[in-house]
Amino acid sequence: MRALTHLDRLEAESIHILRETVAEADRPVMLYSIGKDSAVMLHLAKKAFFPSPLPFPLLHVDTTWKFRDMYALRDKVGGEAGTELLVYKNPEAERQAINPFDHGPLHTDMWKTEGLKQALDKYGFDAAFGGARRDEEKSRAKERVFSFRDRKHRWDPKRQRPELWSLYNVRKNKGESMRVFPLSNWTELDVWQYIMRERIEIVPLYFAAERPTVERDGLLLMVDDERFPLDGEKPVMRKVRFRTLGCYPLSGAVESEAATVEDIVAEMLLTKTSERQGRAIDKDGGSASMEKKKQEGYF
Amino acid sequence: MSRPLESDQDLIRRDVRAWLAEQERKELLRFITCGSVDDGKSTLIGRLLYESKQIFDDQLEALESDSKRHGTQGAKIDFALLVDGLSAEREQGITIDVAYRFFTSARRKFIVADTPGHEQYTRNMVTGASTADLAVLLVDARKGVLTQTRRHSYLAKLVGIRQFVLAVNKMDLVDYDQAAFDSICTDYCAFAEQIGIEHWAAIPVSGLGGDNIMSRSDATAWYSGPTLLEHLDSVPIDVTSDAEKPFRMPVQWVNRPNQNFRGFSGQMASGSIAPGAEVRVLPSGRTTRIDRIVTMDGNQDEAVAGQSVTLTFADEIDCSRGDVIALASDPPEAADQFEATIVWMADEELLPGRGYWLKLGTQTVTAMIQEPKYEINVNTLEHLAAKTLGLNGIGVAELATDREIVFEPYAVEGASPNKALGGFILIDKLSNTTVACGMLHFALRRALNIHRQHLDVSRETHAHLKGQKPAVLWFTGLSGAGKSTIANLVEKKLAARGRHTFLLDGDNIRHGLNRDLGFTEADRIENIRRVGEVARLMSDAGLIVLTAFISPFRAERHMVRRMVPEGEFFEIFVDTPLAEAEKRDVKGLYAKARSGELKNFTGIDSPYEPPEHAEIHIDTTALSADEAADLIVEKLVGRR
């Protein structure tokens, strides 16, 4: 008899979670952030419902500040047959031209947290899949697979529903919703191994290449377009790649030679820093900042 | 994420694929740490992560600065802060909810759930335990086995954990004294035997000092057993037992992209399956053969327990979410009455007789729980008489579901538990929170043996003789809303049209049939249940039954609706604002309730849950009683 490998088991669990949500929620949606975790989650969803097309749309809550390579992959994915991609931009943030250079934490708050809440309310989604993993960050390590949110999208870490076995309580009253995390039990290594095994397409920015960069506040930032205000700095071509992707002015690059998924995995295994280290977003607000954001309705 | 062992780094540099292939072959062990508050669970895990080099430099930096700010270890690193991820936890120095962490050894991958020690958060401990293979039970060497040690052992055993480690912690604080260790082991041994824990090992450790966690301690020369990690690495785990049981798959979702494809998706609970195998769909009992096992990577020759698959059948037979596909020659049972162990996890206590959602596998039904047969004192294991279960109460009770469910007994002697078809949760119908979990013992025989007597004069005959279609008109609303008044008028109008009717009025019933019931929440539920049963019998006799009861809870009205054939139940919401009803106060009851003389009065100190989908909505501020009665008669007579 065939013995299941670790990845087989993770895959089966994630598919179970995806199907359970679709069976019980009224209007599910998948948050698609274009990163490697989203890519894996989307691949799992295709497997879960094959040969049916995806029974829910993808939603990209856009900040207008993603890398150009990310938009290219997003549009390619959104154009595939059987895939419906919704793009939402917070009109208020757009009107005020909120950006990471001038507005600091307000950028994430308005584009991402507020944008997400607005989009969920606009379309009436009652369950939203997210690609977060428990190994990423310590408040995420505490979160349930099915994370209940009240009418204002808030997470109450002290009153989480008990979650026994693989029995998920998807019930809620009108206006309340669920954030669902099919990758809860995956580690960063699992994600890369799965990308390798399943040959999943990811944004090229994960691979090392010569890119124009400047160094700011200890982060190596890529000058991805002309909106990057240069303060007398001269972008330097460096061979870099990104461990996580977000808004380009907030994503720190690492110098690297990794040109294949194997190289990336080897490099990641030998590194001494965590993947979220290159993210400016986790730091504003002290050691509890992610928890606070989640309570406010962030993913 | 988990980092590789230092010894592996050469291989990673040389041939990362070879190293990854090795990782794929590693077994996974899921374990929990549990025990009483302050026994050092989080510190122990933090120590395990730290010593197995799972901590990145930036995390270590953050930990050092956190330790200075919130730590309880003075200038030293407070390892607990690595796992206590919520700010409330770091501030109070306690664990509130379970944290999942990941690490790797040379042989195994580990997912460890650090569970809270406070009794108040027992439900979170059970959450962690339900998916674990092993429990590390921490005991403070100075305090020995405590109530919470016993409670957690009991709960872990109850949800099916079969391997235990008694980690006698803080050995540094008792000078690594062997006698202290031995005495705790003797104590625990007696308890373990009592509750039937077969496999357990005791290890003297210090989370703070790192003794016997990764490396052997010189301070405990008298101890010759393995270190904690050595033990976790070598303890036998059952990976194949589900695959060796007969095939079962709860259907999660029917996959139907077009007319030509109909597949049944689910995660296999047990056994293995191949195309051509004869299967039975339960509870209907129809049989067919598996045609294909469909995946995005092509059709499979075989699938085994744990896999998520899509199956197609050789024949077109009915099958939908909630059904279970099973080996035709060895199917599970279906029943609607059970005995079960229930762990209550909500602040509001169990209401015997109230309908709760019961979810088991992919089946969701309404279940009513009887008064517990007994509650278990986890300290002494005594069986105590109980009328209900409160927060963290564990008891054994009988329960009845409104339709048959396919199940297997949870606990199996000498084998892994049937989690997928034996474990269930109870969900409150109003708040939708998970209020309890339970484990089915067996079906009650009377569910199998008491069949309803077949009646020669059927309900159709009764109705035909009366020349009418039976119905139950269920008036609900606040006290003084006008239910009885309108119901009376409706009955008169129906009688004038030659209809056979009967009016069940709240006050009258309470003088007779239900005079043994009071006004507690439980009694109100029983009151409605009895009225529902009477109304159903009368409608079987062909009558149009009118009932006028406050019936404040949605769950109970829903329960009655389920008793009556579809299309014959009319929920009539007599909608009068509280202020208006109180102003009328025909019986002077509101005044009494306001003065505190009358307790549990609906609208005052007990809630009224308005109907969400009433068949008829009467706004008494817009319609007179007579107009309302006309409207109802019209609706009833107008139905097809």
Q: Do A273 and B100 touch (CB under 8 A)?
A: no
Of A110-119, B150-159, B389-398, B579-588, the range with the lowest mean pLDDT is: B579-588
**Does B240 reside within a domain?**
no
Q: Do A141 and B26 touch (CB under 8 A)?
A: no
Region of B471 on the Ramachandran plot (φ > 0 left; ψ -120 to 50 alpha; else beta): beta
Same domain, B423 and B507: no
Q: Do B1 and A189 touch (CB under 8 A)?
A: yes
Q: Do B267 and A166 touch (CB under 8 A)?
A: yes
Does the annotation mark B551 as catalytic? yes
Residue B197 tokens, joined: 């824990």
Residue B255 tokens, joined: 């996959």
Q: pLDDT 10s digit of each residue in chain A, 299 long?
A: 567 888 999 999 999 999 999 999 999 999 999 999 999 999 999 999 999 999 999 999 999 999 999 999 999 999 998 899 999 999 999 999 999 988 988 998 999 999 999 999 999 999 999 999 998 877 888 889 999 999 888 888 888 899 999 999 999 988 899 999 999 999 988 999 999 999 999 999 999 999 999 998 888 999 999 999 988 889 999 999 998 899 999 999 999 999 999 999 888 888 777 666 555 554 444 445 677 777 776 66
User: What are the boundaries of each domain within chain A?
Assistant: 6-190+287-295, 202-280
Mean pLDDT, chain B, whole residue set: 88
Q: pLDDT tens digits, residue range B246-290?
A: 999 999 999 999 999 999 999 999 999 999 999 999 998 999 999
Helices (H), B476-520: 483-496, 506-511
In this structure, are residues B323 and B282 in contact, taking their beta carbons and an 8 Å threshold? yes
Min Cα distance A102 → chain B (Å) is 27
Give me the CATH number covering residue B221. 3.40.50.300
Q: pLDDT tier at B62 (50, 70, 90 boundaries)?
A: confident
Same domain, B106 and B214: yes
The three-point CA angle B308-B314-B319 to 5° equals 60
Q: Say if residue B2 is exposed, middle or buried (CB neighbours under 10 Å; 0-12, 13-18, 19+).
A: buried
Q: What is the ipTM of this complex?
A: 0.91
Q: Do A134 and B100 touch (CB under 8 A)?
A: yes
Domain count, chain B: 4
Same domain, B410 and B321: no
Measured in whole angstroms, the distance separating CA A245 from the mean position of its chain's CA atoms is 8
Contacts of A147 in chain B (CB under 8 A): none
Residues near B77 by Cβ (< 8 Å), separated by ≥ 6?
A: B50, B63, B64, B67, B71
CA distances from B2 to A11, A135, A267, A288, B52 (A): 18, 8, 14, 22, 9
Of A229-243, B70-84, B318-332, the range with the lowest mean pLDDT is: B70-84
Contacts of A275 in chain B (CB under 8 A): 1
Model confidence at B82: pLDDT above 80: no
Q: Which of B294, B362, B434, B609 to mutate to test the interface with A (most CBs of A within 10 A)?
A: B434
Q: Do A15 and B362 touch (CB under 8 A)?
A: no
Same domain, B131 and B14: yes
Helix (H) or strand (E) holding A29: strand A28-31
**Listed residue (B543, B508, B509) closest to B529, CA to CA:** B509
Strands B374-376 and B308-313: unpaired
DSSP bridge partners of B203: B167
**Listed residue (B510, B633, B519) closest to B572, CA to CA:** B633
Tell me, yes or no, if B299 comes closer than 8 A to chain A by beta carbon: no
Min Cα distance B515 → chain A (Å) is 36
**Which pLDDT does position A286 carry in this prediction?**
47
Q: pLDDT tens digits, residue range B348-406?
A: 999 998 889 999 999 999 999 999 999 999 888 899 999 999 999 999 999 999 889 99
Min Cα distance B212 → chain A (Å) is 26
Residue A112 has what DSSP assignment?
I
Contacts of A10 in chain B (CB under 8 A): none
Residues near B266 by Cβ (< 8 Å), separated by ≥ 6?
A: A19, B249, B250, B251, B252, B253, B308, B309, B311, B325, B362
**Which pLDDT does position B451 carry in this prediction?**
43
User: Which structural domain, as residue segments, surrounds residue B362?
Assistant: 333-446
Amino acid identity for residue A135 in this structure: D
Mean pLDDT comparison of A57-71, B449-463, B493-507, highest-scoring range = A57-71
Model confidence at B71: pLDDT above 80: no
Min Cα distance A125 → chain B (Å) is 18
Same domain, B408 and B291: no
Q: Do A12 and B424 touch (CB under 8 A)?
A: no
Q: Which of residues 224-243 of B touch A (CB under 8 A)?
A: 239-240, 243
Q: pLDDT tens digits, residue range B606-629?
A: 889 999 889 999 999 999 999 999
* Dist. CA B622–CA B624, nearest whole Å: 7
**Does B454 reside within a domain?**
no
Residues near B433 by Cβ (< 8 Å), separated by ≥ 6?
A: A161, A169, B346, B427
**Does B1 reside within a domain?**
no
Domain covering A6-190+287-295 in this structure, CATH number: 3.40.50.620
Give me the CATH number covering residue B261. 2.40.30.10
**Which pLDDT does position B353 carry in this prediction?**
87
Same domain, B608 and B623: yes
Across the A/B interface, how many CB contacts are shorter than 8 Å? 210
Same domain, B36 and B141: yes
Give helix B16-25 / helix A6-24 axis angle, nearest 10°. Answer: 70
Q: pLDDT tier at B205 (50, 70, 90 boundaries)?
A: very high
pTM: 0.81
Tell me, yes or no, if B85 comes closer than 8 A to chain A by beta carbon: yes
The 10 Å CB-count burial string (b at 16+, else e) for A233-268 is eeeeebebbbbbbbbbbbbbbbebebeebebbbbbb
Helix (H, G, I), strand (E, B) or coil at B7: helix
Contacts of B26 in chain A (CB under 8 A): 6
Tell me, yes or no, if B13 comes closer than 8 A to chain A by beta carbon: yes
Q: pLDDT tens digits, residue range B406-440?
A: 999 999 877 889 999 999 999 998 899 999 999 99
Same domain, B521 and B615: yes
Q: Do A19 and B306 touch (CB under 8 A)?
A: no
Q: Which is more confident, B52 or B250?
A: B250
**Which pLDDT does position A2 carry in this prediction?**
66
Nearest to B56 among A51, A53, A272 (CB): A272
Same domain, B486 and B425: no
**Which pLDDT does position B450 carry in this prediction?**
44
Same domain, B220 and B283: no
Q: Which is more confident, A161 or B59?
A: A161
Q: Which of residues 276-295 of B touch A (CB under 8 A)?
A: 294-295
Min Cα distance B399 → chain A (Å) is 19
User: Out of B224, B234, B551, B595, which one is annotated catalytic?
Assistant: B551
**Which pLDDT does position B448 carry in this prediction?**
47
Q: Do A142 and B98 touch (CB under 8 A)?
A: yes
* Dist. CA A234–CA A214, nearest whole Å: 7
